[in-house]
Amino acid sequence: MEASHSEVLAALAAATSQDINQLRPAEMRLKGWETSPGFYAALLSAFADLGQPVNVRWMAVLCMKNGVDRFWRRNAPNAISEGEKASVRQALVACCLRELAPQILTQLAVLSSKIARHDWPREWPELLNQLLEGVQQPGSRQQALLVLHHVVKTLSSKRLAGDRRLFQELSSSLFPHILLIFEQNMAAEAVTEGTLALKILRQITVHGFKAPYEEAAVRSFLDSAIPRTRVLIEMRQNASDQAAIQKLASLMLKLLSDILEHHPFSFGPLVASTLQLIDNLILNDSGCSLLFERAAVQLLNLLKGILLCSEFKSDAFPAGQQAQQAKSQFFTPQMLQALCQRLVARFLPLSQDELKQWAEDAEAFAADEGGECWRYALRPCVESCFVALFKEYNSHMVPPLIQMMQSNLSPTTPILLKEAIYTAVGLVSYELYDEVDFDSWFRGPLREELACTQADYRIIRRRIAWLLGQWSSVKLSPDLRPLLYSTQMTLLSGGEDMAVRLAAAQSLRNSLDDFDFSPEQIEPILGDCFNLLLTLLRDARECDSKMRVLSVASFVVERVGQAVRPHAAALVQCLPQLWAENHPMLRAAVAGALVPLVSALGPDHNQLSNFLLPVVETATNINEEAHVYLLEDGLDLWLCIMENVAQMSPQLLMLWPRVATLMEMTTEHMQICLQLTKAYLLLAPTQFLENHGRTLVHLLNDIMVDIKPEGQLQILRLVELIQRAEPAAMSILQPLVCRVICSVLQGDALPLLMALQLSVLARLLLDAQNVIAESINSIAQISGETPDAVLQRVLEVWLYSMNIITQPERRKLLALALVTLLAADDRRFCGILLAVAEVLNDVHGPQGDTLLLGSIALEEDSCEEDSTEFERRRKRLSLTDPVYLRVLATALQEQLDRLKRQVGQQTWLQLVSSVDVETLQQVRNFVTLD
Cα R_g (the chain), whole angstroms: 38
Please provide the average confidence, as pLDDT, over all residues in the chain: 91
Q: Give the pLDDT band (50/70/90) at residue 613.
A: very high
Nearby residues of 9 by Cβ (< 8 Å), 6 or more positions away: 46, 52, 56
Task: Give pLDDT, residue 864.
Answer: 47
Higher pLDDT: 817 or 826? It is 817
Task: Give pLDDT, residue 2.
Answer: 63
Q: Which residues of 446-472 are buried (b: 16+ CB within 10 A; e: fewer)?
A: beebbeeeeeebbbbbbbbbbbbbbbb
Alpha-carbon gap, residue 343 to 379, rounded angstroms: 10
Q: Assess contact for 54 and 101: CB atoms under 8 A.
A: yes
Q: Looking at residues 539-546, what average pLDDT do you find?
A: 93
Q: Assess contact for 788 and 840: CB atoms under 8 A.
A: no
Which among 354, 702, 360 is positioned nearest to 498, based on CA atoms? 360
Q: Looking at residues 598-615, what average pLDDT do you find?
A: 87
Q: Assess contact for 890 and 843: CB atoms under 8 A.
A: no
Alpha-carbon gap, residue 886 to 888, rounded angstroms: 6
Q: Looking at residues 903-910, what average pLDDT do you find?
A: 86
Residue 38 φ/ψ region, left for φ over 0, alpha for ψ in the -120 to 50 degree band, beta for the rest: left
CA 735 to chain centre: 38
| 370 pLDDT above the threshold of 60 | yes
Burial of 618 (0-12, 13-18, 19+ CB in 10 A): middle
Q: What percentage of the chain carries pLDDT values higher than 70?
A: 98
164-196: per-residue pLDDT in tens? 999 999 999 999 999 999 999 888 888 999 999
- Containing 47, the helix (H) or strand (E) segment is helix 39-48
Q: Looking at residues 888-913, what average pLDDT do you find?
A: 88
CA 459 to chain centre: 35
> Half-sphere exposure of 435 toward its Cβ, with a 13 Å CA cutoff?
18
What 8-state DSSP symbol labels residue 849?
Answer: E
| 846 pLDDT above the threshold of 80 | no
Task: Give pLDDT, residue 369.
Answer: 67
pTM check: above 0.75: yes
What 8-state DSSP symbol labels residue 270?
Answer: G
Proportion of the chain in helix, strand, coil states, percent, rounded to 5: 80, 0, 20
679-707: per-residue pLDDT in tens? 999 999 999 999 999 999 999 999 988 88
Long-range contacts of 77-84 (CB under 8 A, 24+ apart): 78/34, 78/35, 80/40, 81/37, 84/37, 84/38, 84/40, 84/41
What residues does 849 pair with on adjacent strands?
Answer: 844
N-terminal to C-terminal alpha carbon distance within the chain: 93
Task: Give pLDDT, residue 582.
Answer: 85
CA dihedral sign, ordered 814, 820, 824, 830: positive
- Containing 844, the helix (H) or strand (E) segment is strand 844-845
150-166: per-residue pLDDT in tens? 999 999 999 899 999 99
Q: Looking at residues 821-828, what average pLDDT do you find?
A: 79
Cis-peptide, bond into residue 846, ω within 30° of zero: no
Which among 727, 723, 800 is positioned nearest to 760, based on CA atoms? 723
247-285: per-residue pLDDT in tens? 999 999 999 999 999 999 999 999 999 999 999 999 988
3-state secondary structure of 580: coil
3-state secondary structure of 725: helix
Task: Give pLDDT, residue 3.
Answer: 66
Helix/strand/coil (H/E/C) assignment for every residue in 59-100: HHHHHHHHHHHHHCCCCCCCCCCHHHHHHHHHHHHHHHHHCC
DSSP count for the chain of H helices, then E strands = 52, 2
Long-range contacts of 600-605 (CB under 8 A, 24+ apart): 600/557, 600/558, 600/560, 600/561, 600/562, 600/564, 600/565, 600/568, 601/564, 601/565, 601/568, 601/644, 602/562, 602/644, 602/868, 602/869, 603/644, 603/645, 603/646, 603/869, 604/565, 605/641, 605/644, 605/645
Q: Give the pLDDT band (50/70/90) at residue 1.
A: very low
For 178, 199, 219, 248, 502, the CA distances from 182, given in Å and listed in that order, are 6, 10, 15, 12, 50
Nearby residues of 246 by Cβ (< 8 Å), 6 or more positions away: 236, 292, 294, 295
Q: Give the pLDDT band (50/70/90) at residue 608.
A: confident
3-state secondary structure of 377: coil
For 537, 564, 800, 904, the CA distances from 492, given in Å and listed in that order, are 11, 19, 68, 87
Q: Assess contact for 779 and 790: CB atoms under 8 A.
A: yes
- Containing 911, the helix (H) or strand (E) segment is helix 905-913
Burial of 515 (0-12, 13-18, 19+ CB in 10 A): exposed
Which among 894, 806, 891, 800 is positioned nearest to 842, based on CA atoms? 806
Alpha-carbon gap, residue 122 to 114, rounded angstroms: 15
Burial of 171 (0-12, 13-18, 19+ CB in 10 A): buried
Q: Which residues of 670-698 are buried (b: 16+ CB within 10 A; e: fewer)?
A: bebbbbbbbbbbbbbbeebbebbbeebbe
Q: Assess contact for 929 and 920: CB atoms under 8 A.
A: yes
Question: One-letter amino acid identity for 479?
Answer: D
3-state secondary structure of 511: helix
Task: Give pLDDT, residue 854.
Answer: 55
Alpha-carbon gap, residue 358 to 498, rounded angstroms: 9
Which among 432, 423, 430, 429 is positioned nearest to 399, based on CA atoms? 432
CA dihedral sign, ordered 722, 723, 727, 728: positive
Task: Give pLDDT, residue 452.
Answer: 86
What 8-state DSSP symbol labels residue 351?
Answer: P
CA 600 to chain centre: 27
Which among 531, 469, 465, 532 is positioned nearest to 500, based on CA atoms? 465
Task: Give pLDDT, residue 853.
Answer: 53
378-396: per-residue pLDDT in tens? 999 999 999 999 999 999 9
| 213 pLDDT above the threshold of 80 | yes
Q: Which of 94-108, 369-383, 692-706 is least confident? A: 369-383
Alpha-carbon gap, residue 695 to 722, rounded angstroms: 14
Alpha-carbon gap, residue 472 to 331, rounded angstroms: 32
Alpha-carbon gap, residue 804 to 802, rounded angstroms: 6
Q: Looking at residues 640-662, what average pLDDT do you find?
A: 93
- Helix intervals (H) in 540-626: 543-560, 568-579, 584-601, 609-619
Alpha-carbon gap, residue 600 to 558, rounded angstroms: 7
Angle at 556 between CA 373 and CA 505, to 5 degrees: 45
CA 102 to chain centre: 39
Task: Give pLDDT, residue 313.
Answer: 86
Alpha-carbon gap, residue 928 to 930, rounded angstroms: 6
CA dihedral sign, ordered 724, 727, 732, 738: positive
3-state secondary structure of 848: strand
Q: Assess contact for 417 and 408: CB atoms under 8 A.
A: yes
847-881: per-residue pLDDT in tens? 777 777 554 455 444 444 446 788 889 888 888 88
- Containing 845, the helix (H) or strand (E) segment is strand 844-845
Provide DSSP, 106-146: HHHHHHHHHHHHHHTTTT-TTHHHHHHHHHHSTTTHHHHHH
